[in-house]
Structure 1
Amino acid sequence: MRRAVATIGLCLSLLTGGAATAATLQENNEAMFRLMQEKRGVTDTQIAAIRKIFQASGYAGQGNPAATRHPMTPQQAQAKLPQDAYQYYRNAQFERICGRKYMAPLYDPATQRPEDAKVCVDMFEYPNVPLAYPVTWIKASEAAQVCFAEGKRMGDAHEWEGAAAGALLPPDYRFDLGTPQAMRAAHNAKWGPSKSWTYGPQWQRGICAQGSQKSPGCNGGSWAGCGSNTYPVGSFPGCKSALGVYDLEGNAAEHMNLPLNESQMASRGSRTLGVTEMKGSWFIWDTIRAHEEWARWRAPYWHGTPVMSSHSHANYHLGFRCFADVK
């Protein structure tokens, strides 16, 4: 155990955020890229493409180092686990199906086996490495480009909801209704009576990475004033859906694709995509439940833009995870 803690501390020493590290955003990102290569096998070519996206953004990373104060270190998160985190979260069956580390197959357990899955999802928020802090301050368009750079893609709303609810069901988009607002209302009316959360039928405090606080004086979204005060991904091993996906509640909220017609469905090969959908609750939820939220809930059209718009939204609590079609 001591060796595991020391290893994670060495690999993630630049990712703890806050003034104590004296690290810049670029230094944090470079440490994260090295970790992605070492622990997930992301290639040099893929990292080069991802680096360009982050550099062009100027903000994408694990938060503003000057403002961010993470409530838990990777070493503290490791101490909660019975073995080295990188091994604890490995799943040989998932890797055979998905062809990559730290991805989980999505399927309907009522009628399918894991081997029947046609799509997999990152087990953790990006960078999808156990005990790394999630990426924030990234636009939906940039998140989609990062996923493409890894040979993955952004997920459709129904895929994220299936991961959270523990059963991937067929798409139920009401394209005939025409607007994101009308589609949302119809979907929530359908699923509201049977709402559930990733870990069960009742919402609970303390299960997921939701016990942090906003930066003092955070005014709703400034880079200088609002730290990404997130936890290392996988810090709460009980915050897991029935399909083996972590941190769908808590930590960063997540960009997702809401298609407005069939040609915008990422799950059917579109790279044009639809409009932005924000998924998941985030790091202050145990104290401030800012809005309704459950596994299949679809949010209002907050900061709505086309996913691939250069003006799509970024924020200190907003991140993403990638999906990949099974080949």
Structure 2
Amino acid sequence: MKRIATGALALWVMAVAGPSVAQTLQENNERMFRQMQSERGLSDATMKRVRQIFAGSSYIGQGNPAVTRHPMTPQEARARLPAPPERLYRNARFERICGAKYMAPLYDPKTEAPGDAEVCVDMFEYPNIPMVYPVTWVKASEAAELCAAEGKRMGDAHEWEGASAGRLLEPDYFFNMGHGGARAAHNRKYAPTRRYSIGQQWQRGVCATGSFKSGSCNGGSFRGCGSNTYPAGSFPECKSPLGVYDLDGNAAEHMNLPMSPDQMASRGSRKLGVTEMKGSWFIWDQVRAHKHWSRWRAPYWHGSRVMSSGSHRNYHLGFRCFKDVK
């Protein structure tokens, strides 16, 4: 094999270039844990807590290896990129603002600069490493715990929506209207100016939406449904104006929908509100199961409190983390 890298880059290539599916979920997870520590520099203490959370579930990971068939390998994904991922996706200014790799500041470009941001968001779905498959089969409560393990948090719905739309607005919740009324009022407000993370019109093939649903998938079982996702960042044009990737496509994402001001993660709440499912997922160029423009809020599908031990999980649902920086 031709030697293509040395030093730290060689270690990175070795970490991500293994086979796309190992024999067991636990083997896949262990490989991912090594990638998280080597590529993002997470401490032993952080990784111990992450392992503890994963150990509490028989599902969390990059999909059930017995049925998951990823449509693209990390090697194939890297070959699509205009530059090596460690150069394409690293942003020194963002890292200074956010204090971590692979995060983007959220702000309003009309009135602010990136350095004015008070919150940052992971550029990629968890584990937030380019060319690595996103984690699925995770409950909202587990997602919140995994973010907390890294000193981050789950985002509020308006933060995810701002990351996608390209402009972080002030919180815009219709409290005291119940979920249905609040959702309808919100969607009416933003429908006239709706857009996707990639622009005013949906474009097939721009995001990680060309995969397939397993033939054995019978509604959502772990044994029958493969998490047939792409490596994160495989589609470099699938980027929001604020520099956040894969908000459309790959995995849908858990988010916190506060039902009162004291449930807002952005204001320090730890009890949080109810679950909101954001974005689209990996079969969207074949099956458009629901709307997904940036500020669209979904019906209360599989709804629960975020921190409920019975919060929903499935084969196409993941998450990303947010971090307060000021």
- Residue 202 of structure 1 is matched in structure 2 by 201
Whole-Å Cα distance in 2 between the matches of residues 92 and 154 of structure 1? 24
Partner AA of 1:131 in structure 2: M
Structure 1 residues 2 and 258 mapped into 2: Cα distance closer, same or farther (>3 Å)? farther
Q: Deviation at 1:217?
A: 2.3
Alignment match of 1:16 (pick from 15, 20, 27): 20
Q: Deviation digits for residues 23-57 of structure 1, max 9, x if unmatched? A: 21111111101101111111110111011111101
The reply on whether 1:76 has 2:81 as its aligned counterpart is: no
Q: Aligned equivalents of 1:6 and 1:83: distance in 2?
A: 16
CA distance in 2, matches of 1:2, 1:263: 55
- Residues 12, 39 of structure 2: 8 Å contact kept: no
Q: 2:31 matched to which residue of 1? A: 31
Q: What does 1:154-165 correspond to in 2, within 5 Å?
A: 154-165=154-165
Cα deviation, 1:279-301, whole Å, max 9, x if unaligned, reads 00000000000111101110000
For the 8 Å contact 2:176–2:259, the answer to whether it is kept is no
**Number of aligned residue pairs:** 322
- Matched with 1:134 is 134
Q: Does 1:226 align with 2:230?
A: no
Q: Deviation at 1:6?
A: 7.5
Partner of 2:67: 67
Aligned to 1:261: 260
TM-score after normalising by structure 1: 0.96
Q: 2:89 matched to which residue of 1?
A: 89
Q: Which stretches in structure 2 are left out of the alignment for 5+ residues?
A: none
Q: Secondary structure of the residue that 1:175 maps to in structure 2?
A: coil
Question: Structure 1, residues 258-290: CA drift from partner, whole Å, max 9, x if none?
Answer: 000000000000111000000000000000001
**Corresponding residue for residue 3 of structure 1:** 4
Q: What is the distance in 1 between the residues matched to 2:73 and 2:242? A: 27
Per-residue CA deviations over 1:35-87 (Å, capped at 9, x if unaligned) read 01111111110111011111101110000011100000000010011332122
Contact 1:126 1:319 in 2 (8 A): yes
1:103 correspondence with 2:103: yes
CA distance in 2, matches of 1:2, 1:258: 48
Identity %: 68
Aligned counterpart, 2:307 = 308
Secondary structure of the 1:96 match is: helix
User: What secondary structure sits across from 2:48 in the alignment?
Assistant: helix
3-state SS of paired residue (1:277): strand
User: Could you tell me which residue of structure 2 aligns to residue 280 of structure 1?
Assistant: 279
Q: Distance in 2 between matches of 1:317 and 1:289?
A: 14
For residue 94 of structure 1, report the CA deviation from its aligned partner. Answer: 0.3
User: Any idea what SS the aligned residue of 2:276 has?
Assistant: strand
Structure 1 CA distance, aligned partners of 2:12 and 2:323? 27
CA distance in 2 between counterparts of 1:206 and 1:6 reads 31
Q: RMSD of aligned C-alpha atoms?
A: 1.5
Distance 1:34 1:236 in 2: 24
**Structure 1 residues 111 and 15: CA distance shift in structure 2, 3 A:** farther
Per the normalisation by structure 2, the TM-score is: 0.96
Residue deviations 1:105-129 (CA, integer Å, cap 9, x gap)? 0000011100000000000000000
Structure 2: distance between partners of 1:8 and 1:92: 18
Secondary structure (helix, strand or coil) at the match of 1:50 reads helix
- Match of 1:315, SS? coil
